[in-house]
Amino acid sequence: LRNLGAELFVRTRSLVRRGEWVEIDGTLVRVVELESLGVIGETARMERVFIPYTKLLSSGVLSRSTPVGLSLRITVTAPSSYRLDTVREAIRSAVEAVKPDLATEPDITFAGSQEDRWVFTVDLFVWNPKKMWRIVEEVEKRVREQIPEASVKA
């Protein structure tokens, strides 16, 4: 009965739509079908998943679909022993390598420092969601070529 109420709420509020990319509990899923018991989705790695409507409401849903592609945020941290400009330039050159797969100009923002590390966020809009993990891996590889101690997370 709870799932029925959750289904009515999701459908009447249009919380998710067919074809939309959403993030649920940290997993990116493309909505394939809205069934009577839940949502059938597909991950970027072509895995099929089923999400009950009660799970959608209890965990929260973050829409990642935009008119210009899939939004992606990458967090890059590097030791503060490196100059801030050096870290920013390493990130900029890494993102430059994946620019053909991006829908808009990337946004690189200095988010501050945590303990002894600089923290940057890189906001991207990706044309093809299936290339998302390749883009993250490429950025990580290129940043680590210049700063081996860097951490890159999506």
The answer on pLDDT for 61 being more than 80 is no
Tell me how crowded residue 132 is: count the other CB atoms within 10 A of its CB.
21
Work out the average pLDDT over 77-91.
95
pLDDT at position 48 is: 92
Work out the average pLDDT over 112-118.
92
Spatial contact of 15 and 56, defined as CB atoms under 8 Å apart: yes
pLDDT at position 119 is: 96
Q: Distance between CA atoms of 80 and 87, rounded to whole angstroms?
A: 9
Distances (CA, A) of 97 to 28, 54, 76, 135, 143: 24, 41, 16, 9, 11
Report residue 67's pLDDT band, with 50, 70 and 90 as the boundaries: low
Mean pLDDT of all residues in the chain? 86
Spatial contact of 116 and 77, defined as CB atoms under 8 Å apart: no
Question: Is 137 in a helix, a strand, or coil?
Answer: helix
Report residue 16's pLDDT band, with 50, 70 and 90 as the boundaries: confident
Report residue 100's pLDDT band, with 50, 70 and 90 as the boundaries: confident
Spatial contact of 113 and 119, defined as CB atoms under 8 Å apart: yes
The answer on pLDDT for 43 being more than 90 is no
Q: Distance between CA atoms of 132 and 81, rounded to whole angstroms?
A: 30
10 versus 124: the higher-pLDDT residue is: 124
Report residue 109's pLDDT band, with 50, 70 and 90 as the boundaries: very high
Instruction: Give which of 139, 147, 17, 15 is closest to 72, Cα–Cα.
Output: 139
Work out the average pLDDT over 30-50.
87
Say how many residues make up the chain: 154
pLDDT, tens digit, 9 for 90 and up, residues 122-147: 998 887 777 888 899 999 999 999 99
